[in-house]
Amino acid sequence: MDDLLREFLTESGEHLDTVDAELVRFEQDPNNETILRNIFRLVHTIKGTCGFLGLPRLEALAHAAETLMGRFRDGLPATSASVTLILLTLDRLKEILADLEATGTEPAGSDDDLISALERMAEGTVEAEPAAAPEPVLPEPVARELKPGEVSLDELEAAFLAAPGPDEADQAAPPVAAAPVAPAAAPVVSEVARVEAAEPARAEKADGIEGEAAATGEASAASKNQTIRVSVETLEHLMTMVSELVLTRNQLLEIARRHEDSSYKVPLQRLSHVTAELQDGVMKTRMQPIGNAWQKLPRVVRDLSAELGKQIDLVMVGAETELDRQVLEVIKDPLTHMVRNSADHGLESTAERIAAGKPARGTIRLAAYHEGGTITIEIADDGKGLNLAAIRQKAVQRGLASQADVDRMTDAQVAKFIFDAGFSTAAAVTSVSGRGVGMDVVKTNIETIGGLIDIATTAGRGTTFTIKIPLTLAIVAALIVRAGEHRFALPQVAVLELVRVDAGAQRVERINGAPVLRLRERLLPIVSLTGLLGQSEAGAETEQAGFVVVAQVGRERFGILVDEVFHTEEIVVKPMSVKLRHIPMFAGNTILGDGAVVLIVDPNGVARQVAQGVQGSGGHVEADDDAANEVADSKTTLLVFKGGQGSFKAVPLSLVTRLEEIECAKVEWLGGRALIQYRGRLMPLVPADPAIAIKSEGTQALVVFSDGERAMGLVVDEIVDIVEERLDIEIAADRSDLIGSAVLRGRATDIINIAHFLPLAYDDWARGLKRPERLSTILLVDDSDFFRDMLSPVLKAAGYQVVTASSADTALAALHADPQIEVVVTDLEMPGRSGFDLVAAMRRAEPRIAGLPVIGLTGAIGADAVERARSLAIADLVAKFDRAGLIAALTEIGAGTVSKAA
Amino acid sequence: MQVANANSNETGTTDDFVTVFVGETLFGLAIERVHDVFVPSGVTPVPLAPAEIVGLLNLRGRVVTAMSLRRRLGLPDAEDEADGSKANPKMAIGLEQAGETFALVVDGVGEVLKLGADSREAVPINLDPRFRNLATCVHRLDGRLLVILDVDALLGFTPAGAKAA
């Protein structure tokens, strides 16, 4: 493809886009001569150039469109049908241009349908049958992307307006509709400095078209020097080189900092200054007004309003706001999508609007403005607002959150569900939207460029989306931190503040192993960077002192624990290698002033990880946190709550399934029993103390226990704390609802016996959860700390004393040492000597040990395991996670041994 | 290549290879693919990265992904020196693929060899599959063998597959 053709394609694309937008304006303001002149001129230029380049199809189409527009100028009213027809013609032109770009030749085909329609319209005969016009073909609008890196269209437009209009030519040329009413339209082409590009203008003159060519020629000469076309690659290369320069400058500054010798400090400072300015300048060349991304929107909205039968005004504010073209490219499609969404979902139908007492015309307002290093874009509609109830319902339906979670969420949090993939509450899928694809893509696109998206919605008043995006992607301010042995860069945009933590007043506390920080009376979830990156070995110790970087992504606030914070530095973001791009934690890497490569932590990736940690509940945290468990080996984690007359009660946390807060209004009473609909089932509520009455209003705290499919809500006054203490239970008086009492955090606390409450909820839940007549000592053998920790409190809660061993050998030693042991519960699959080996060894030992009953814990109960168990006289095999099964088996054995002892 | 042929007195065409060694094994890399030979320093490890990736390093202002040939071949990392000092990656070869630069960390770099077809052999089928997948051929040298590595295959591991390793 030769340069001339390429130039033509780029320009025609721009012109067509402008005509698109201008036509929509013209339709609303049919008396505006300036707009019409502008459109006319642009189409004419395209026609002239096509003729010159020998593109007959394009020329014929442009000619027909021009003819019709000539008639407008002569006073033919611009009807919606005729504008639609011209828009269709433009689409066809774009289609042909796209083909031309792909193949280098004009595609074969006939445009007689459009041309004859245009001609008929121009003759004025079609006015009687306007419906026929848009029928013939509805080509999909060809999305022809603007070539990036070009002069702003605003400038072009300004140049057009500045140039002498064709009015003068008008007076001269006879207004014969059939002949090309051709004013001199040279400035459009010759705007660009390329000499070839000016040729079509000459061609026009050669065509014998009269006009004030000389006058316009002068005007264009003036504008010629103002802009030049530079290929994107050249700019990109320049940008890369400047980035390198910035790096080198940083390195020099670093060296200068270390050396006291000040002789080169001054030139260095000068260099630094120049570099900064150069960087600024180059960045500016990459800047384009956001209006470029909005250009297609008026047309989109016009088509939508016709399609949806709604009257929509599109207001655009701040189109001149500039941002990096790379960023512009990324947000272009999301913006279009969001405007479509606003038109389709956001705005009500005209009838509904009138019924609601609103103006019949809906408004979509696009606004863009700079705000401290970022650009804020708002897309607001004055429609009905998001249907939060429907979103809540849908979120539960799709299993994104539980009913209780959803009920507790703020409206803003609920609104965010629309960013989930496949989420749509639209009752009907229209051709425009409602398929539930899109908003997730929008969010992903915006997040990839380090942007944030937010929603504010008011029922009946409309919805506003706010997008915050960085001005540029190439250079960001970042906080340099140290975690473990290495330094990392954290983008400054996500950082709210830094908090120093130590073992004193500001310290990191833990809830069930999950670290949190009290920050101005609020709990902030903490993640340690070393932990996130899988480098944490020392575990708890490293958290004693360090810094918490308080970060915010979307509405999620969290703290990133690092060991040291250095300084803020402007870093040049370099993309991650393709081999490493799958790691969600990193957004890229950079070279610091001292020449070291550091990784840039992606706050979005961290946020996702934090959220996962929270959702994955205890299991995930504990699995990651073996070290902490080691320390807490002999301790039990207890949930402390207030229950009845202000007394403190506690229950082992491992027995608790969930903590809930419900609205009292949702409590239902059936046959004198309180029930609540919980996760699609009825859950009985049982007060933790006879003194507790279920409240009738406000919210009620619940501790939920579940076993398989059944769940029970223990009604408590208030959930107080989670403590980790050595559980020294003093046996209580004869109250079956208590196991005993213990001192927790200096307070006497009753440890409740869940076994008492479960039968109150379900009569048949008694299964084995009865307290044995007297306490037996159990030896629990499991190589996994996790299982030992999980099972000991269960067993203790069931009223046993527990001795633990982590291997067959220590178990045997314990058996010999402790004659109190009456039952052995052992994991059968252990590294080294397995549980079977242990039992075999026991059976060979002295009679006291040989005769002990054994319960085997196993991951999978297979036939051969059962066989071996039987041969070793293992009393029962229980699946590892079956807590209730284990208790039942123990109770059975307990009854046996007790009777034997008696 | 032209120059190489002109200098060569042999009748068949010859290829130039940069030789590197890992442990006792000698490997060859096509010289056209080798951009640099340098001593890697200041390698920043990348947490959560595939095992093959040693980290990132700054090569004259460019960030380069360093990959261990040992780990890529499924060999253990170099043992610590006899004197107790920790084994450092000694040399690295700069390779380019799809516009990205990689550093292949090896134990050492030898001379450049000009080899013809006469000494070339197919890859023996009994080689460890990891070797077999990465090698294109083997050259018989005096007293030792030279395994020619396929640079694209070497750099062609996928993040997903590598993660499992």
Question: Which domain covers residue A428, as residue numbers?
Answer: 291-470
Search chain A and give the residue with CA nearest B47. A533
Beta bridge partners of A515: A510
When divided into structural domains, chain A yields a total of 6
The predicted structure's pLDDT at residue A318 = 87
Report pLDDT digits (tens) over A689-726: 777 777 777 778 888 877 656 678 888 888 877 777 76
- Predicted ipTM of the assembly: 0.80
Sign of CA dihedral A500, A606, A543, A650: positive
Identify whether residues A455 and A520 lie together within a single domain: no
Question: Is A900 an 8 Å CB contact of chain B?
Answer: no
The predicted structure's pLDDT at residue A599 = 92
Encoded tokens for A276: 């900064």
Residue located via tokens 């790379």: A326
Question: Nearest by CB to B49, which of A248, A583, A598?
Answer: A583
Identify whether residues A24 and A165 lie together within a single domain: yes
- Please answer yes or no on whether B63 and A583 come within 8 Å at the CB atom: no
Between CA B148 and CA B156, with CA B150 as vertex, the angle to 5 degrees is 150
pLDDT of residue A213 exceeding 70, the answer is no
The predicted structure's pLDDT at residue A215 = 42
The predicted structure's pLDDT at residue A901 = 42
Chain B residues with CB inside 8 Å of A582's CB?
159-160, 163
- Residue from A580, A598, A600, A608 whose CB has the most chain B CBs within 10 Å, to mutate: A580
Of A304, A51, A302, the residue nearest A199 (C-alpha): A51
Three-state SS string across A298-364, please? Answer: HHHHHHHHHHHCCCEEEEEECCCCEEEHHHHHHHHHHHHHHHHHHHHHHCCCHHHHHHCCCCCCEEE
| CATH number assigned to the domain comprising residue A853 | 3.40.50.2300
Search chain B and give the residue with CA nearest A582. B159
Of A663, A668, A661, A660, the residue nearest A704 (C-alpha): A660
- Residue at A55 is within a domain: yes
Search chain A and give the residue with CA nearest B161. A579
Chain B residues in contact with chain A using a Cβ-Cβ cutoff of 8 Å: 42, 44-50, 53, 55-58, 61, 63, 65, 67, 98, 100, 102, 157, 159-160, 162-163
Question: Average of pLDDT values for A815-830?
Answer: 83
pLDDT of residue A770 exceeding 80, the answer is no
Q: Which residue has the higher pLDDT, A288 or A427?
A: A288
Residue located via tokens 């500045």: A162
Report pLDDT digits (tens) over A51-65: 777 777 888 888 888
pLDDT of residue A176 exceeding 80, the answer is no
The predicted structure's pLDDT at residue A423 = 67
Q: Which of residues 462-491 of A touch B (CB under 8 A)?
A: 486
pLDDT of residue A688 exceeding 60, the answer is yes
Identify whether residues A274 and A333 lie together within a single domain: no
- CB–CB of A153/A292 below 8 Å? yes
pLDDT of residue A428 exceeding 60, the answer is no
Q: For chain A, give the percent of residues with pLDDT over 90.
A: 1
Q: For chain B, give the percent of residues with pLDDT over 70.
A: 80
This prediction has a pTM of 0.43
pLDDT of residue A450 exceeding 80, the answer is no
- Shortest alpha-carbon distance between residue A241 and chain B (Å): 11
- Residue at A772 is within a domain: no
pLDDT of residue A219 exceeding 80, the answer is no
- Residue at A391 is within a domain: yes
Q: From A595, A628, A661, give the residue that closes a domain.
A: A628
Lowest mean pLDDT among A330-334, A346-350, B112-116, B161-165: B161-165
Search chain A and give the residue with CA nearest B49. A580
Identify whether residues A282 and A295 lie together within a single domain: no
Q: What's the CA gap between A703 and B111, in Å, rounded?
A: 73
For residue B139, what is the enclosing H or E element?
strand B135-140
Q: What secondary structure letter does DSSP report for A769?
A: -
Identify whether residues A451 and A500 lie together within a single domain: no
The predicted structure's pLDDT at residue B56 = 92
Identify whether residues A703 and A745 lie together within a single domain: yes
Identify whether residues A701 and A798 lie together within a single domain: no
Grade residue A128 by pLDDT with cuts at 50, 70 and 90: very low
Q: From A607, A628, A649, give the residue that closes a domain.
A: A628
Between CA A854 and CA A699, with CA A755 as vertex, the angle to 5 degrees is 140
Chain A residues with CB inside 8 Å of B50's CB?
579-580
Encoded tokens for A246: 């910035």
pLDDT of residue A136 exceeding 70, the answer is no
Question: What is the CB neighbour count within 10 angstroms for residue A210?
Answer: 12
pLDDT of residue A743 exceeding 50, the answer is yes
Identify whether residues A97 and A194 lie together within a single domain: yes
pLDDT of residue A478 exceeding 50, the answer is yes
- Shortest alpha-carbon distance between residue A534 and chain B (Å): 7
Encoded tokens for A205: 């003159």
Grade residue A473 by pLDDT with cuts at 50, 70 and 90: low
Chain B residues with CB inside 8 Å of A244's CB?
61
pLDDT of residue B3 exceeding 50, the answer is no
CB < 8 Å & 24+ apart, contacts of A841-848: A841/A808, A841/A812, A842/A812, A842/A815, A843/A872, A843/A873, A845/A812, A845/A815, A845/A816, A848/A819
Domain range list for chain B:
2-164
Between CA A489 and CA A495, with CA A491 as vertex, the angle to 5 degrees is 115
Question: Average of pLDDT values for A525-531?
Answer: 85
- b/e sequence A5-33, b meaning 16+ C-beta within 10 Å: bebbbbbbbbbbbbbbbbbbbbbeeeeee
- Shortest alpha-carbon distance between residue A566 and chain B (Å): 18
Question: Average of pLDDT values for A666-686?
Answer: 78
Q: What's the CA gap between B154 and B74, in Å, rounded?
A: 12
Report pLDDT digits (tens) over B66-82: 998 888 888 877 665 44
Question: Nearest by CB to B42, which of A585, A590, A596?
Answer: A596
Identify whether residues A759 and A808 lie together within a single domain: no
Q: Which residue has the higher pLDDT, A658 or A812?
A: A812
| CATH number assigned to the domain comprising residue A522 | 2.30.30.40
Grade residue A199 by pLDDT with cuts at 50, 70 and 90: very low
Grade residue A729 by pLDDT with cuts at 50, 70 and 90: low
Chain B residues with CB inside 8 Å of A585's CB?
47-48
The predicted structure's pLDDT at residue A1 = 56
Q: From A454, A470, A486, give the residue that closes a domain.
A: A470
CATH homologous superfamily for the domain B2-164: CheA-289, Domain 4 (2.40.50.180)
Total CB pairs under 8 A between chain A and B: 67
Q: Which of residues 598-637 of A touch B (CB under 8 A)?
A: 598-599
Report pLDDT digits (tens) over A16-54: 888 888 888 877 777 777 787 788 778 877 777 777 777
Chain A residues with CB inside 8 Å of B56's CB?
577, 589, 597, 599
- Please answer yes or no on whether A581 and B159 come within 8 Å at the CB atom: yes
Identify whether residues A812 and A872 lie together within a single domain: yes
pLDDT of residue A350 exceeding 80, the answer is yes
Chain A residues with CB inside 8 Å of B162's CB?
579
pLDDT of residue A152 exceeding 80, the answer is no
Grade residue A383 by pLDDT with cuts at 50, 70 and 90: confident
Chain A residues with CB inside 8 Å of B100's CB?
577-578
- Please answer yes or no on whether B46 and A598 come within 8 Å at the CB atom: no
Question: Is A805 an 8 Å CB contact of chain B?
Answer: no
pLDDT of residue A519 exceeding 50, the answer is yes
- CB–CB of A318/A287 below 8 Å? no
Question: Average of pLDDT values for A523-547?
Answer: 71
- CB–CB of A610/A558 below 8 Å? yes
- Residue at A771 is within a domain: no
pLDDT of residue A378 exceeding 50, the answer is yes
Question: Average of pLDDT values for A781-810?
Answer: 77
Identify whether residues A654 and A510 lie together within a single domain: no
Chain A residues with CB inside 8 Å of B45's CB?
486
Grade residue A544 by pLDDT with cuts at 50, 70 and 90: low
Question: Average of pLDDT values for A256-265?
Answer: 76
The predicted structure's pLDDT at residue A488 = 92
Lowest mean pLDDT among A30-44, A149-163, A848-862: A149-163
Chain B residues with CB inside 8 Å of A486's CB?
44-45
Q: For chain A, give the percent of residues with pLDDT over 70.
A: 74
- b/e sequence A506-539, b meaning 16+ C-beta within 10 Å: eebebbbbbbbbebeeeebbbbbbbbbbebbeeb
Question: What is the CB neighbour count within 10 angstroms for residue A769?
Answer: 22
Report pLDDT digits (tens) over B34-43: 888 888 888 8
For residue A738, what is the enclosing H or E element?
strand A738-744
Identify whether residues A75 and A192 lie together within a single domain: yes
pLDDT of residue A91 exceeding 80, the answer is yes
Sign of CA dihedral A328, A330, A331, A334: positive
Q: Please state, rounded to an integer, the average pLDDT across all residues of chain A.
A: 73
The predicted structure's pLDDT at residue A536 = 60
The predicted structure's pLDDT at residue A506 = 77
The predicted structure's pLDDT at residue A480 = 92
Question: Nearest by CB to B44, which of A578, A583, A599?
Answer: A599
Grade residue A179 by pLDDT with cuts at 50, 70 and 90: very low
Instruction: State whether residue A662 is helix, strand or coil.
Output: strand
Report pLDDT digits (tens) over B119-129: 888 888 887 87
Report pLDDT digits (tens) over A613-661: 543 333 333 333 333 333 333 466 778 888 777 778 888 777 777 777 7
